Amino acid sequence: MEYSEIMVRYGELSTKGKNRKEFIRQLGQNIRNVLKPFPAVVVKAQRDRLHVVLNDQPAQPVMDALQQVFGIETFSPVVKLPKDASLADIQQTAKQMIKEQYQPGQTFKISTRRQNKNYPLNTYGIDDGVGSYILEAIPGIRVQMKHPDINLQIDVRLSGIYLSSITIPGALGLPVGTGGRATMMLSGGIDSPVAAYLAMKRGVKVDMIHFFSPPYTSQQALAKAKDLAAKLAAFGGTIDFIQVPFTKVQEEVKKRVPEGYLMTIQRRMMLRLAAAITIDRHCNGVFTGESLGQVASQTLESMRAINDVTSLPVLRPLISLDKTEIIKIAREIDTYDLSIMPFEDCCTIFTPPAPKTKPDLEKTREFEKLVDVDGLMQEALAGIEVTKINVGDDYLNSQEDVFAELL
Ligand SMILES: Nc1ncnc2c1ncn2[C@@H]1O[C@H](COP(=O)(O)OP(=O)(O)OP(=O)(O)O)[C@@H](O)[C@H]1O
C-alpha cells in the first residue's frame, strides 16, 4: 500500500490544558529530529493531531523511527484522497487496504466521520457504499460492529478524505524536553541505561555523567558507555556525555579509608561530583540506576549515607523493579547486549570484598575527613570532557583499529 502520511495521536499531553501548546511544539521538534534521515518528509503539528506527510517515502522506516518518540499514544499510516474523491475511488482504496491485512475468517467494519458537510454522501451513505463493496470484493469476509478484526476509518475532512485501518501503539510518556533537565549517572551496566530511558519517558532531558578510572578501566569501557548513550539518543535526541576522571579519587580513598567504608565514600564522592556538575549545568536532579536491595550499596542505610552529600533530588526510577524486569526493558530498548559486554567498571574494580551493607552515617562522615574532598573534587572537575553523542554513533567499532594496534 502506498501511504501518503502517518497520522499521530497525542498521548498524555492532551490532558494538560495549559501546557498543551508547548508540548505539541516540543513533540513536533522531537519528531522532526528523529526524521532527519528522511529529508522529503514534512511534519505538521496541529492542535488535535500531528501529520507526517511522506512525500513518496516508504512508510515503514518512518514508523520505526516514530515508535521511539515519547508523547505519542498511537499512530496510523493513512492514504489521503482528494476532498472531492468519488465513492468509487474510496471503494478502490478501501479494498486494497483491507486486502493487504485480511486473513481468512476475519471480520471488518467501516467507520466514517464527516467534517466536510459539502461532501455529497453522508456517513451512512459512505459506510454502506464501501461496506457492501468490500463484502462483494473479498469473499468470506464478514461485518462485525463490536471489536472487528479490521476497522477501516474514513475521515471526510475539508482538506481531503483520509483512510486508515491500522493503529499502532506509540511509546506513550511525555515529549523529552517538557519535563525539565537532569543529569544521569550512567555506568556501563544493565541498570543505568534503563533508568535513563525511564527518565526520558517522563519528558526529562538528561545529560549523562560517566566516571572512568584509567588505567584500571580501559578505553573500551569508556567507548561502551558512549555507545550506550548513542542507543539512548534514539529516545531523547543528541546527548551530552560528560566523562569524569575518577582514578585519583579512588586511589586516595582506597589509601586512606578503612576497607568497610571504601565503597560508601567512593559513592559519596561520585554523587558530590555529579551534584556539582548538575548545578553547573542548571539541571535540577540526578538520576541513578539503583534499585533497592540489589547490592551492598543499594540498601536503605547505604542510600542514606550516600545521599547525605547533596540536597538535590536523587531520582531512582528502578527502585522497586526486579532484575528480570529491568533486563526485559533493557532488551526492549536494545541496550542489553551492549551492557553485558565484559568491560570493567571503575566501581567493581575498587569494590572491597566485604563492603558495609549498613554504613553508619556518623562514622562515614568521620572517615571521609581522612581524604582531601575539596582538592580531589577540583582536580576531577578540571579533567571533565564533554562529547555530543547522536543516535548511530559507534565508538567501540570506530576505535577497533586503535585497539588492534595496542594489542
Ligand atoms: N562508572 C560509573 N559512572 C557513572 N555512574 C555510575 C558508575 N558506576 C555506577 N554508577 C551509578 O551508580 C548506580 C549503582 O551502581 P552499581 O554498580 O552499584 O549497581 P548496578 O546495579 O550494577 O548498576 P548498573 O547496572 O547501572 O551499573 C548505577 O546505576 C549508576 O547510576
Q: What is the pLDDT of residues 45-79, one digit of tens each?
A: 988 889 999 999 999 999 999 999 999 999 999 99
**Most confident range, picked from 4-13, 123-132, 355-364, 392-401:** 123-132
Neighbours of 73 (CB within 10 A): 17
End-to-end Cα, the chain, rounded Å:
52
pLDDT tens-digit series, residues 255-304 = 999 999 999 999 999 999 999 999 999 999 999 999 998 676 789 999 99
User: How much is the pLDDT for 349?
Assistant: 65
In angstroms, the CA 205 to CA 180 distance is: 6
Q: Count how many residues are written for the chain.
A: 407
Lowest mean pLDDT among 57-61, 245-249, 337-341, 355-359: 355-359
Q: Are 163 and 154 within 8 A, CB to CB?
A: yes
Question: At residue 16, does pLDDT exceed 80?
Answer: no
Of all residues in the chain, the percent with pLDDT exceeding 90 is 85
Atom of ligand 1 nearest to the CA of 217: 1
The owner of cell 474523491 is 85
| Atom 5 of ligand 1, nearest CA residue | 185
Question: At residue 347, does pLDDT exceed 90?
Answer: no
Strand residues in 238-313 grouped as ranges (E):
239-245, 286-287
The predicted model gives 165-181 an average pLDDT of 94
pLDDT tens-digit series, residues 371-402 = 999 999 999 999 999 999 998 899 998 866 55
| Atom 6 of ligand 1, nearest CA residue | 187
Residue among 183, 184, 190, 191 whose CB has most ligand 1 atoms within 8 A, to mutate: 191
> What distance in angstroms lies between residue 267's CA and the mean position of ligand 1's atoms?
10
| Atom 28 of ligand 1, nearest CA residue | 289
Residue among 186, 190, 192 whose CB has most ligand 1 atoms within 8 A, to mutate: 192
Q: Across the chain, what does the average pLDDT equal? A: 93
> What distance in angstroms lies between residue 254's CA and the mean position of ligand 1's atoms?
19
User: How much is the pLDDT for 363?
Assistant: 96
- Residues 6 or more apart whose Cβ sits within 8 Å of residue 321: 291
Written as one letter, the residue type at 183 is T
Question: At residue 353, does pLDDT exceed 80?
Answer: no
Confidence of residue 352 (pLDDT cuts 50, 70, 90): confident
Atom of ligand 1 nearest to the CA of 347: 8
119 lines ligand 1 (CB under 6 A): no
347 lines ligand 1 (CB under 6 A): yes
> What distance in angstroms lies between residue 392's CA and the mean position of ligand 1's atoms?
24
pTM higher than the cut 0.90: no
| Atom 8 of ligand 1, nearest CA residue | 187
- Residues 6 or more apart whose Cβ sits within 8 Å of residue 79: 1, 2, 3, 4, 93, 97, 162, 163, 164
Written as one letter, the residue type at 331 is R
- Per DSSP, what are the bridge partners of residue 389? 239
To the question of whether residue 147 is assigned a binding role by annotation, the answer is no
User: How much is the pLDDT for 15?
Assistant: 57
The predicted model gives 335-354 an average pLDDT of 81
Confidence of residue 21 (pLDDT cuts 50, 70, 90): confident
295 lines ligand 1 (CB under 6 A): yes
To the question of whether residue 267 is assigned a binding role by annotation, the answer is yes
Cis peptide bond upstream of 313, omega within 30: no
User: How much is the pLDDT for 355?
Assistant: 78
The angle formed by the CA atoms of residues 58, 64 and 67, to the nearest 5 degrees, is 135
